[in-house]
Structure 1
């Protein structure tokens, strides 16, 4: 569904995604699913920033981030907000996995990833402030 959804927004610059609220992943991660996705225009030309909120470290989440990292040609920043920042061992494990996902650099692209812990920072009051250029970025 996500590749089809992204196809509806060919000029998007920032993508905010939030993982579901379940405690267990649904099914096995399948990176081949993402490889079979048809070309998505915003990944080729406009997507500069991706923020993954409520990230738990499931294989399916890493597959999605890998797909975005490898295909978004002008991506500058990938931000991962952890669902819970209480477990230092889990944070380090996720950081290590993200480094392996983000190891492949697209030629000519200077991008970075950032890991934030401490739970979701999303707030309706801030997000509904129309004077902000990106109401979800705080």
Structure 2
């Protein structure tokens, strides 16, 4: 009959399911176990739990940073979208003031090394569409909060 050896037994410590780490079972406090082995085991387990505690603290700091940075990003996005809607309103107003001028109803697009110039009666609509698409993409891909498992 085989003798029961507690050092070869393994158990799963309190870790997340994604990173299962097996620790050896604690040696029995008996006369057959060397006290230095027992001390080394206790030290290694203590260090392991300190490591887990530091991992948790780091994760909490990352979540706090993401929380505050997402607030800043949210307000920047709102300012960008609001500015786009304002520019669209200015373009609509400019188009209404011009009326039906034949010169202003032609769409012009110039692309040079110094930049791009667009002149169109529908420029307000383009700015509005770009602003709303940007806002939709932000809401769909950046803003959602996903539950960690």
TM range (shorter): under 0.3
TM-score (norm 2): 0.21
TM-score normalized with structure 1 length:
0.23
Q: Which has the higher contact order (CA 8 A, sep 6+)?
A: 1
**Which structure has greater strand proportion?**
1
